[in-house]
Amino acid sequence: MITYNPKDWFTFIFRFHKADTLRQLSPLIIAICIYSWVITFLELHIFMLSKNSHITNITTMHTLLSFVISMLLVFRTNTAYDRWWEGRKLWGSLVNNSRNLAIKLQSMLPVEEEAHRAFFRKTIPMYASVLAHHLHAESTRLALDEQEHTELNLDSNRHMPNQVASMLMQRVNRLYEEGKIKGDQLIILNNELLSFTDICGACERIKNTPIPFSYSVFLKKFIFFYVMTLPFSLAISLGYLAIPVVAFIFYVLASLELIAEEIEDPFGSDENDLPMTKMASNIKKHVAEIIL
Amino acid sequence: MITYNPKDWFTFIFRFHKADTLRQLSPLIIAICIYSWVITFLELHIFMLSKNSHITNITTMHTLLSFVISMLLVFRTNTAYDRWWEGRKLWGSLVNNSRNLAIKLQSMLPVEEEAHRAFFRKTIPMYASVLAHHLHAESTRLALDEQEHTELNLDSNRHMPNQVASMLMQRVNRLYEEGKIKGDQLIILNNELLSFTDICGACERIKNTPIPFSYSVFLKKFIFFYVMTLPFSLAISLGYLAIPVVAFIFYVLASLELIAEEIEDPFGSDENDLPMTKMASNIKKHVAEIIL
Amino acid sequence: MITYNPKDWFTFIFRFHKADTLRQLSPLIIAICIYSWVITFLELHIFMLSKNSHITNITTMHTLLSFVISMLLVFRTNTAYDRWWEGRKLWGSLVNNSRNLAIKLQSMLPVEEEAHRAFFRKTIPMYASVLAHHLHAESTRLALDEQEHTELNLDSNRHMPNQVASMLMQRVNRLYEEGKIKGDQLIILNNELLSFTDICGACERIKNTPIPFSYSVFLKKFIFFYVMTLPFSLAISLGYLAIPVVAFIFYVLASLELIAEEIEDPFGSDENDLPMTKMASNIKKHVAEIIL
Amino acid sequence: MITYNPKDWFTFIFRFHKADTLRQLSPLIIAICIYSWVITFLELHIFMLSKNSHITNITTMHTLLSFVISMLLVFRTNTAYDRWWEGRKLWGSLVNNSRNLAIKLQSMLPVEEEAHRAFFRKTIPMYASVLAHHLHAESTRLALDEQEHTELNLDSNRHMPNQVASMLMQRVNRLYEEGKIKGDQLIILNNELLSFTDICGACERIKNTPIPFSYSVFLKKFIFFYVMTLPFSLAISLGYLAIPVVAFIFYVLASLELIAEEIEDPFGSDENDLPMTKMASNIKKHVAEIIL
Amino acid sequence: MITYNPKDWFTFIFRFHKADTLRQLSPLIIAICIYSWVITFLELHIFMLSKNSHITNITTMHTLLSFVISMLLVFRTNTAYDRWWEGRKLWGSLVNNSRNLAIKLQSMLPVEEEAHRAFFRKTIPMYASVLAHHLHAESTRLALDEQEHTELNLDSNRHMPNQVASMLMQRVNRLYEEGKIKGDQLIILNNELLSFTDICGACERIKNTPIPFSYSVFLKKFIFFYVMTLPFSLAISLGYLAIPVVAFIFYVLASLELIAEEIEDPFGSDENDLPMTKMASNIKKHVAEIIL
């Protein structure tokens, strides 16, 4: 993830960072420019269309639909941002949860129980790194796909985060049964132990459930037809100026869709994705500071 | 459900998948084209309306209303998406819940209690499959309809998910009364046992309560009148170009409504609906991995 | 409540159901038509206004404001829908809650305690029917009005749902003090007992707090002036076509406000309101199935 | 607060209630009318500007900005409404909470403990009236202001709601230590005792944190410049009709801001504010009905 | 933070407060004015473009995109406001939490335990001041940046809020093990002890996770190109009036972005940021009032 100073406008406007949509879209923008040039050339010099030609009024269509395409794309970006932010919240909870569990165990376990302390010092942060690994796996993304994916060999390997959560729960229960922690203490440890699995399930949900297929198809078809029909009317009213105008409109609409695509899955390895490995190592550092 | 790669634009734009609204709407789009052709033909060749005719200014109405129809449809899609996503969250909770209950029971039940272990290994995942079946049933969808549905024979069959939840609760309570689990452990098992019924009730709510009837009626009447009056003014300003323009506007508006209709009930058997059977079998697999 | 098949467009568009806003608004639509006819007649034949008259440009005002009126009405409908959906969720929780309490008591109460079982089998569903009755009462709606409503005789009758909740709590507490249920079991019964009153309070909130008075006044004045000034400019550009155009715009705007009014109070007896009586009888059926 | 029948359109449109924004804004609307008249007179009769004058095209600016001003104001109103509704929810929780605490204590306290019963019958509703008083105080509103407010003498008086909450907690704890209520009962009383302070803190947050200062400044400057530049272009296209048109646009925009200002602080003494005194007396009545 | 009277319009419109975006943007606005003057001069006097020039129709592009830029900026501001409000809520919870913990400990600790009382009287408010300090630190903002920041010396210093939370938890646990508080009391203290770390983690999340980088880059590029191309078409239709018009449009769009930037990080030291130091001292005052 890139942390930046939002007030440094100059850099934002004139540098072309790797994660900049302008850079990613530049081949397509060039293609659109060529396409617009062809249409303009044909309309102005081959068909010699005048300003009274019917084709100029196609702008009416673009105006009527400009609201709906704008709203759709802005909502699309917002929904994607909500998923991204929910992912960030879930990992934030994982951090809190690991810390709280460590703080509690530090105060409950007697100083001499070095073995148990070492176990928790290692296993609590392990959950985060196992989860990060689990979310990067292709098999997690395709868990609910309607097609079979035999190449992924899904059945042979166990669900690792569940195994770690189970280990933690069993150790706490053993401590309870050996009388090393009391019932009241077991009750207050319960929440943290549960949350691990809840967080894992919620991350899996974001990972394996993209926005509905027909919605995604519709949006892409809509942008495509909208931009492709733009030069027809603009060529007449704007002449060769239509080329940069169509390119700019395409840049805006496609950027929104592109940003949405990138951030709707916050557990990938894009520039904008969550730094899960970093967070897991932060958890490790903090837990080690707490459980002495 | 279809899991897809959102970055593969080419496929999205040029293939006609079964769940594509363009495919579903194609008969209607053809009808609209014929209708527009008739109107255009009449206005241009029979009534010979000129550009000064009053009818050209009907565009004013379409412009004034284009905001409201766009916003309504985008909000409609968003509300439907929220229902779909809530459904997905509920099933996500069911997964988490089943896993957590399994993890806890695995650590609490002594290894020798094979009978109890077998009971939970079977009954926990059974809840998910019984619920999936319950949500597919027509009787669940019509549970709150104001008309009587005697053909469904509602009274004779019991509410199955409740029966499974009751079985689980009774078994846990028996373990408590036999002293096999302690009071503190009963307290921490409570949340998971409750959640099953909460999830079931929330799914039933989404299933049996569509958006208010008058809202749905209004939206469909509005789209119909809006599109039907479009060719009157466009025929004059656009000539025969009005035909594809009206068709495209219709495609956009109707697609939004169509997508909303499909995703507002996430528990059906559409392409976009939640893969409940797959999820239930995943739960079965995971619980079996946990309770040894 | 009406459960319907959202995919049956034909019926939606061509039938005039009782809950259809087109039917409810038809007298007003006719009045607007007459008004528009009068304005058009005056402008065209009495004052003989030409296309260059200043009055044509009033459309500028309608265009500038069309966005704000659209957004206001769409947000209005959405806020109303949120209240309606919150009401539905609350009754959904009541269902879950009643079921969960029944499931727990069924497993905790020994089989021979027939008297207690009968008490809960009767009293749990009673809460739902008492609440439905309470929410229908005019006195509940006016509970926070600034005027005194002596005619409603508010002081003489007690708050019935509270009395039922209190009966349930006392019985559970008696069971605890008689040692028939243990402390751990009391703790896990607590949540359900609380929720009854929480649900009741939240329903009362929706019932007795409409959206702020000045907002509601403003919205109605705005729609009125907006529609009333429409024919002035449209009469010149559209001639007698202004009549159906104004009528259609009025139909759209007024429908949105009308739908919002109907669904913002989900506890009335409109077509779109929640079927509280049906839900209460469902609760009765389910509780009787669970507590044997 | 005013409870009203939303379906009575006639009254809404033709009566001028005290809380009606039209009434509050009427002096300003008259001022705007005079201002517009002056501009129109100057442009038409002194400077004799023609329709080809550049100034007519300022409408382009108003059109480009009409979206942003509309959206800002509608969102502004919605954010304010959310604060108002959150305030209402918090007081709803206070009602539920007081009732639940009363219901629990009624069932737990033995009938002969008249002194304790009298204490709770008095102190539970006292929290609501102390909180109402606390929220009306100027010192609560200014608690986080960056300027010192020595005139308010903030340090001398204690935080009253905290004192009442502390009294309740101490009495419950004394009952526990005297063995009059058991540990399990203490645990289930805990939630209600906590919520009082949570509700108080949340109400204070709404009261002492208005929307960010720069946002509020920007919005007012924007509305002012937008309306002030309107007559320049409208005077030419509309003539003296510009006067009512500008007045109406001003009425719409300023009403939205005015309504937002009124409802964003739900704990004042405006017509639209929450009836805290009434709610406190309702709590008193209900608690007295429950604790016998 | 500035607490203000929202009804004092005059001051808002005519004074230039330090936090006013008009003041912050004034150098840029002047630059834009010069730029617009240059373009206008070139088009009118050097290139002598007429009204029929293609360049006038660039307005079409601005109209088509005005909706998307408006929505993006309004949503941007709203997302930023949500972060700011979430930050405020978190600090509100910290206040509630500190109060509740103090209220509980005051009632549980015997009067003679002066040492423990003094400890909590000092340590509870210490959490708030340590957290305020932690959130102001540059190292907290950059915790998840992908670049290494060796200059910040992150590894040498411990996470202070965790240390304070750990101290509180250990003291409470010691009281429990020494039998000074009972198990039931430990359980009801648990929530407050947990919340400290939860609040800290959530504040860190807001601090170290800005909105995604590509979104921020795109928005700034979009505003820049949109405003820079405005004078091309406006110069012809508006003449030198284009200068104030472009400046005003720039003021509106840039203000929205500027406000969003300021409020999206509520834990800085801007005028609009949360008064954390003041809140921490309020907590200190209240806790001292409660724990005697």
Closest chain D residue by Cα to residue E262: D214
* Distances in whole angstroms, Cα of residue E98 to Cα of each of D185, D191, E169: 24, 16, 14
Whether A286 and A278 have beta carbons less than 8 Å apart is answered as: no
DSSP of B25-37, one letter per residue? HHHHHHHHHHHHH
Judge whether D122 lies within some domain. yes
Q: Which of B52, E208, D290 is nearest to C165 (CA)?
A: D290
Report chain D's terminal Cα–Cα distance, integer Å.
31
- Picking from D62, D69, D238, the nearest residue to C54 by CB comes out as D238
**How many domains is chain C partitioned into structurally?**
1
Task: Count CA within 13 A, CB hemisphere, residue A220.
Answer: 21
Rounded CA separation A212/B259 (Å): 9
Per-residue pLDDT, C152 = 59
In the DSSP assignment, the letter for residue C181 is S
Per-residue pLDDT, C242 = 93
Q: Which residues in chain D touch residue C143, judged by CB atoms under 8 angstroms apart?
A: 282
DSSP of C67-88, one letter per residue? HHHHHHHHHHHHHHHHHHHHHH
Whether D183 and D145 have beta carbons less than 8 Å apart is answered as: no
- Enter the tokens of residue B79: 């509300």
Whether D132 and D284 have beta carbons less than 8 Å apart is answered as: no
One-letter amino acid at E25 equals L
Per-residue pLDDT, A247 = 94
Rounded CA separation B197/B230 (Å): 50
- Enter the tokens of residue C48: 């003989």
Whether A187 and B188 have beta carbons less than 8 Å apart is answered as: yes
Whether E67 and A69 have beta carbons less than 8 Å apart is answered as: no
Which positions 198-227 of D are in contact with C (Cβ < 8 Å)? none
In the DSSP assignment, the letter for residue C45 is I
Q: Chain B closest CA to C183's CA: distance in Å?
A: 8
* Distances in whole angstroms, Cα of residue A72 to Cα of each of A89, A259, E223: 25, 14, 20
Q: Does B166 touch chain C (CB under 8 A)?
A: yes
Q: Does E68 touch chain A (CB under 8 A)?
A: yes
Backbone torsion region of residue C31, taken as left when φ is above 0, otherwise alpha when ψ lies between -120 and 50, otherwise beta: alpha
Per-residue pLDDT, E217 = 86
Which positions 12-31 of D are in contact with C (Cβ < 8 Å)? 12-13, 17, 19-22
Rounded CA separation B206/B209 (Å): 6
DSSP of E256-289, one letter per residue? HHHHHHHHHSTTSSSTTS--HHHHHHHHHHHHHH
Q: Chain A closest CA to E12's CA: distance in Å?
A: 25
Rounded CA separation C279/B139 (Å): 14
- Picking from A71, A142, A201, the nearest residue to B95 by CB comes out as A201
Domain range for D127 is 90-210+275-292
- Enter the tokens of residue A218: 């519709």
Provide ipTM, 2 decimals.
0.90
- Interval B33-59 mean pLDDT: 89
The pLDDT tens digits along chain E (292 residues) read 777 777 777 777 777 777 778 888 889 999 999 999 999 999 989 888 887 788 888 888 998 899 899 989 988 898 999 999 999 999 999 999 999 899 889 888 888 888 899 999 999 999 999 999 999 888 888 777 777 666 655 556 788 898 899 899 889 988 988 888 888 888 888 888 888 989 999 999 999 888 888 888 899 899 999 999 999 989 988 999 999 999 999 999 999 998 998 888 899 877 788 889 889 998 999 899 888 8
Q: What are the two backbone dihedrals, phi and then psi, of residue D142, each rounded to the nearest 5 degrees?
A: -95, 10
Rounded CA separation E93/E83 (Å): 15
Q: Alpha helices of chain D — where are they, by DSSP H?
A: 9-14, 21-41, 58-108, 114-136, 138-141, 160-177, 183-208, 213-238, 242-264, 276-290
Question: If pLDDT is split at 50, 70 and 90, which confidence band does C201 have?
Answer: very high
Q: Which of A99, A255, A112 is nearest to A180 (CA)?
A: A112
What share of chain A has pLDDT > 90, as a percent?
Answer: 39
Whether E253 and E73 have beta carbons less than 8 Å apart is answered as: yes
User: D165 and E103 in contact by Cβ < 8 A?
Assistant: yes
Judge whether C24 lies within some domain. no
Length of chain D counted residue by residue:
292
Rounded CA separation A188/A186 (Å): 6
Mean pLDDT by 10 residues, chain D (292 residues): 74 74 88 94 88 84 90 90 93 92 88 89 93 88 74 68 90 88 83 87 91 88 92 90 94 91 86 88 90 84
Whether B186 and C184 have beta carbons less than 8 Å apart is answered as: yes
Q: Alpha helices of B212-241 — where are they, by DSSP H?
A: 213-238
Least trusted range by pLDDT, from B115-129, B185-199, C277-291, E278-292: B185-199
Judge whether E142 lies within some domain. yes
Q: Which of E187, E255, E234 is nearest to E60 (CA)?
A: E234
Judge whether C186 lies within some domain. yes
* Distances in whole angstroms, Cα of residue C35 to Cα of each of A173, B44, B58, C24, C31: 79, 32, 19, 19, 6
**How deeply is B175 buried, as exposed, middle or buried, from its count of CB atoms within 10 A (0-12, 13-18, 19+)?**
buried
| Beta-carbon count within 10 A of D23 CB | 14
Which positions 114-133 of D are in contact with C (Cβ < 8 Å)? none
Q: Which residues in chain E touch residue D142, judged by CB atoms under 8 angstroms apart?
A: 3
Per-residue pLDDT, B150 = 66
Rounded CA separation E122/C47 (Å): 84
Q: Does A288 touch chain B (CB under 8 A)?
A: no
Q: Which residue has the tokens 């509410």?
A: B159
Rounded CA separation D62/C145 (Å): 42
In the DSSP assignment, the letter for residue E155 is T
User: B249 and A166 in contact by Cβ < 8 A?
Assistant: no
Judge whether C121 lies within some domain. yes
Closest chain C residue by Cα to residue B79: C78
- Enter the tokens of residue B78: 């968003």
Rounded CA separation C279/C89 (Å): 12
Closest chain C residue by Cα to residue D80: C212
| Beta-carbon count within 10 A of C268 CB | 15
* Whole-number average pLDDT of chain B: 87
Q: Which of D52, D161, D171 is nearest to D101 (CA)?
A: D171
Whether C102 and C168 have beta carbons less than 8 Å apart is answered as: no
Judge whether A4 lies within some domain. no
- Summarised one tens digit per residue, pLDDT across range B233-247 is 899 889 999 999 999
Q: Distance from CA of residue E226 to its chain's centroid?
A: 26
Q: Chain E closest CA to D142's CA: distance in Å?
A: 6
Q: Chain C closest CA to D245's CA: distance in Å?
A: 7
User: Is residue B155 predicted with pLDDT exceeding 60?
Assistant: no
Q: Chain C closest CA to B10's CA: distance in Å?
A: 30
Q: Which residues in chain E touch residue A7, judged by CB atoms under 8 angstroms apart?
A: 261
Q: Does B98 touch chain A (CB under 8 A)?
A: no
Q: Does E282 touch chain D (CB under 8 A)?
A: yes
Whether C202 and C266 have beta carbons less than 8 Å apart is answered as: no
Q: Angle at Cα B201 formed by Cα B197 and Cα B206, nearest 5°?
A: 150
Rounded CA separation E245/D233 (Å): 12
Judge whether E159 lies within some domain. yes
Judge whether D106 lies within some domain. yes
Least trusted range by pLDDT, from B5-19, B180-194, E105-119: B5-19
Q: Residue D274 in 3-state DSSP?
A: coil
Whether C159 and C131 have beta carbons less than 8 Å apart is answered as: no
Per-residue pLDDT, D245 = 94
Burial A35-62 (b: 16+ CB within 10 A, else e): bbbebbeebeeeeebeeeebbbbbbbbb
The pLDDT tens digits along chain A (292 residues) read 777 777 777 777 777 777 778 888 889 999 999 999 999 999 989 888 887 788 888 888 998 899 899 989 988 898 999 999 999 999 999 999 999 899 889 888 888 888 999 999 999 999 999 999 999 888 888 777 777 666 655 555 788 898 899 899 889 988 988 888 888 888 888 888 888 989 999 999 999 888 888 888 899 899 999 999 999 989 988 999 999 999 999 999 999 998 998 888 899 877 788 889 889 998 999 899 888 8
- Enter the tokens of residue D115: 């002194």
Q: Which of D280, D276, E64, C104 is nearest to A73 (CA)?
A: E64
Q: Alpha helices of chain C — where are they, by DSSP H?
A: 9-14, 21-41, 58-108, 114-136, 138-141, 160-177, 183-208, 213-238, 242-264, 276-290
Q: Does C194 touch chain D (CB under 8 A)?
A: yes
User: C75 and D74 in contact by Cβ < 8 A?
Assistant: yes
- Summarised one tens digit per residue, pLDDT across range A8-22 is 777 777 777 777 788
